[in-house]
A and B are shown apart, each in its own frame.
Chain A
Amino acid sequence: MEISAVLFYVFAGLAVISALAMVLNVRNTVAAAMSLVVTMVSIGGIFVLLDAYLVAALQIMVYGGAIVVLFLFVVMLLNLRTDDFPPVGLRLAKLGGGLLVVVVVSAIPRLLGGVFPEIPAAPTGYGGYRALGIALYTDYVLLVEMVSLLLLAAIVGALILAKRKID
């Protein structure tokens, strides 16, 4: 097995385990968040393995660096006592969750069936910021603009929501 494959499984395992840790850690929200960071970073590693360098960097920067920090920030801001959150009492939700797990787990072997061809070699520049930038600012420029608008809206919205008093 080549090194990248090994790394992939390592990262994948890490991601899944830490994701599970996040979901199942009912005692400690911060620990859950830290698990999420691990997942994010692992996913970032997988991105790198898949030759998506810029995305990988952004993945870690945005998820790891900003989003989860925000989560942590909020957790700390609200000073949440972590033992207050046992899993939900809703049987329906639990049932649904279980069912889903069953369905997906049963589907995963089918997914591993190998219907797709081998992954081809990536061309030069694949996943780099140049190629991505060109794609972003030519084919997807409208999308970028829309998303930037969305961001603006989110900024304003978050500000208004989080402000104690609108002045």
Chain B
Amino acid sequence: MGPIEPFLLSFVTFFPLLAGVGLLLIAALASWIGTKGLPDSLWKSVGLASTLATFGVSVRLFVEFDATRTGFQFVEHLSWIPEYGVNYFVGIDGISLLMVMLTTFLVPIVFIASWDDIRESIPTFVFFMLFLETGMLGAFVSLNVFQFYLFFEVMLIPMYFIIGIWGGPRRIYAAVKFFLFTMFGSLFMLVAVLVTYLLHFEQFGALQFDLVSTTGESKALLDTVIPLSGQIVDGEPVVWWKTQTWLFAAFGLAFAIKVPMFPFHTWLPDAHVEAPTAGSVVLAGVLLKMGTYGFVRFAIPLFPVAALEFTPIILALSVVGILYGSLVAMVQTDIKRLVAYSSVAHLGFVMLGMFALNEQGLNGSVLQMVNHGVSTGALFLLVGMLYERRHTRLISDFGGIAKPMPVYAAFFGLVTLSSIGLPMLNGFVGEFLILMGGFLAHPPSAAVATFGVVLAAVYMLWMYRRVMFGPVTNPENRSLIDLGLREKLVMVAMAVPILWLGIYPNTFLLRIQPSVIELLHQVEVRTALTTLPSTEDVALLAAADTAADPAADPNREPQP
């Protein structure tokens, strides 16, 4: 471990991809010297081993993470395209730490779970999974907005293929839908990123994509004053143009689609239903967090005033999402689709907590991201196991599964309960904190959201009852085989965080806490920064800067 010490984070991030590429090269070499490439089992084992190794190293990150410190840790900052402020800049705080852990935890699980599930093009699958892991981790650890965007987009590629190659009958449709939805939003984000970047340039005369500065002197995007309104064009303030609002809207759209929030959610059920188990798990477990994480990391701190401005809308959409997702989940006939809609509801909670913009809400929100990843991931795993046996996911095809598969039923029950938010299991802690935070910020919406807890029980238990309980009506279900050792292993592994997060969430909350406080602090500071001087003052300040520093001429071409 010695030599990787200063690059722990990069190691975690890139090890999967390196392993994948290495495998590819070796396979190419092997087929070049005349063998039939590497055996599939080798691909799988090496893939699993490398993800496990990644998880191992990330555990080290978790252990060595200094929970008493705010700010980013394990920071690595390397110049990449310094002329344009594009740097390789990674670091984690408590929030991203959890996301990283979640990712590194889920991917090996997925590997084990889809050991027999994926039967064709295994090398491709392994490679894409490894690629995907790096993509996801990269997005979580990026502190350079450009780099983040890169990873944010890169992720789509493997996911697209995972859905499109190994998916269900309508996989192409789903994959394209997923891709287009996400792409649609993220392009808005790209524009907003560039605007922010140019604003930074206007104010400081330097091109910088770094979110935070590595040293005290240099300025980063978070030092930029994003004006509230009145971009001056030809001396006239433009009334409809509200810089911060629009920028936040652009970021928000990208992330809201990814989350997905209520009206932008329709890609999710399709993607989930069509994706293979592995895809669903990673999609629900990690990819969706990209949206919420994006809000926490970028949208809110960069545009705090606009965030506050949008809070009513987002709260409303979250609440609608919770109720709507729950109600629609209730009437689904396909288990996976049901779980997908439940994701909409769960992420509604996450958004609610986040936009409570207080400690409880944010703590809960971040924790709930992990919870949702674990619970919904586990649900998808379980659905996948059932699908493997019966090749159907229709609730009506089942009934009385608990009889032939008691252990399965037990784990399903556990996960269901965790998803419902039963205390002592993980779902509760997050939901509870979120609702508490919501109550402190905006009681009515939180009160309505609380009703979502009831609905969660309704749809999950109804489904559980219809699938697990009752007589075994379908003769095909009579001879189902209960979970094997591998599957038990997977489920036990999933049960560990479910119970841990439920019984002793402080392990995680302690690490989230400083980051959340820091975030709130940032919001406060930046709100003050943005709101104090009027637009004219900003212009004056900029003019003064221009006088002092010729490089800050706004009309100048951005050049190194």
Chain A directly contacts chain B within the complex, with at least one CB pair under 8 Å: no
